[in-house]
């Protein structure tokens, strides 16, 4: 199984402060499902930003789809980003567009003709339980409904990588299960999925998923020890 993501000794620093992420090394094989866990402030959102190319690292190597994402020219980044679906913690819906038009955005950006957009949008709305809210603007939707629109928008284009930041944080347990099954279905179709969560109940619902755990900006192994610890001079 080919690696679709590779991080080597990656560090991230905002401004002149201490590193937010330090010595992060891991690989994700194509078609795998990972939960990214850790306490608030552990660096989960920062790691996801590196994954979906919203942030460049301060040091280290990141390869996506077999190419160096750190030195990639900026004019190539939009094409790479279209291969990655993102569910943001703050939704980032376009306020003047309806729920249906927000979901349709990735298809329109990809140049899909309008005749081929309506059916998949209606199917996604039904799947996330918003079939009767297609024309609603984000301001008229509850937080949970906005979250469901954001998830539908992220998965409608069947991205090669799906990155989700606390995607079940604003929905009830029944809808959380339904959305998790949607992610699992995407994974079974071949999408590599990374879900950041602090809800450990989710981990037991997909026993086949793997886990990455962050603690204070460092990646731990399942025993709680540092993974790939940096070599210190004697």
CB-CB neighbours of 177 under 10 Å: 15
pTM of the model: 0.86
pLDDT band at 229 (very low <50, low <70, confident <90, very high): very low
What's the mean pLDDT in 153-180? 88
Token readout for 167 is: 């995607």
CA 152 to chain centre: 13
> In what order do the strands lie in the sheet containing 3-13?
19-29, 3-13, 59-64, 67-68
What's the mean pLDDT in 38-49? 92
Q: Which domains does the chain have, with CATH numbers?
A: 3-221 (3.40.50.300)
> Is the pLDDT assigned to residue 1 strictly greater than 70?
no
* Residue 104 pLDDT: 97
Residue among 234, 214, 232, 216 nearest 7 (CA): 214
pLDDT band at 227 (very low <50, low <70, confident <90, very high): low
Interior CA angle at 104 toward 98 and 105, to 5°?
95
Higher pLDDT, 68 or 203: 68
First-to-last alpha carbon distance for the chain, in angstroms, is 38
Give dist(CA 101, CA 42) in Å, integer.
Answer: 35
Cα diameter, the chain: 66
Q: pLDDT tens for residues 171-180?
A: 788 888 888 8
């Amino acid at each position: 199984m080919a690696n679709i993501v590779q991080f080597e000794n990656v560090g991230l620093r905002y401004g002149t402060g201490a590193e937010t992420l330090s010595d992060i090394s891991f690989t994700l094989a194509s078609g795998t499902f990972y939960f990214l866990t850790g306490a608030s402030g552990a660096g989960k959102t920062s790691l996801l930003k590196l994954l979906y190319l919203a942030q460049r690292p301060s040091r280290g190597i990141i390869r996506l789809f077999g190419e160096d994402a750190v030195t990639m020219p900026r004019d190539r980044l939009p094409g790479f980003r279209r291969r990655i679906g993102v569910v943001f913690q703050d939704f980032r819906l376009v306020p003047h567009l309806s729920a249906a038009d927000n979901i349709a955005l990735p298809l329109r950006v990809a140049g899909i003709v309008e005749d081929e957009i309506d059916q998949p949008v209606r199917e996604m709305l039904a799947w996330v339980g918003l079939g009767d809210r297609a024309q609603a603007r984000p301001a008229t939707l509850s937080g949970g409904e906005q979250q469901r629109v954001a998830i539908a928008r992220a998965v409608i284009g069947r991205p090669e990588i799906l990155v989700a930041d606390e995607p079940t944080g604003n929905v009830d347990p029944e809808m959380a299960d339904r959305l998790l099954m949607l992610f699992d279905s995407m994974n079974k179709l071949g999408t590599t999925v990374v879900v950041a969560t602090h809800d450990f109940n989710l981990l037991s619902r997909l026993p086949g998923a793997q886990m990455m755990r962050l603690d204070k900006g460092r990646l731990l192994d399942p025993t709680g020890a540092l993974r790939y610890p940096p070599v210190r001079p004697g």
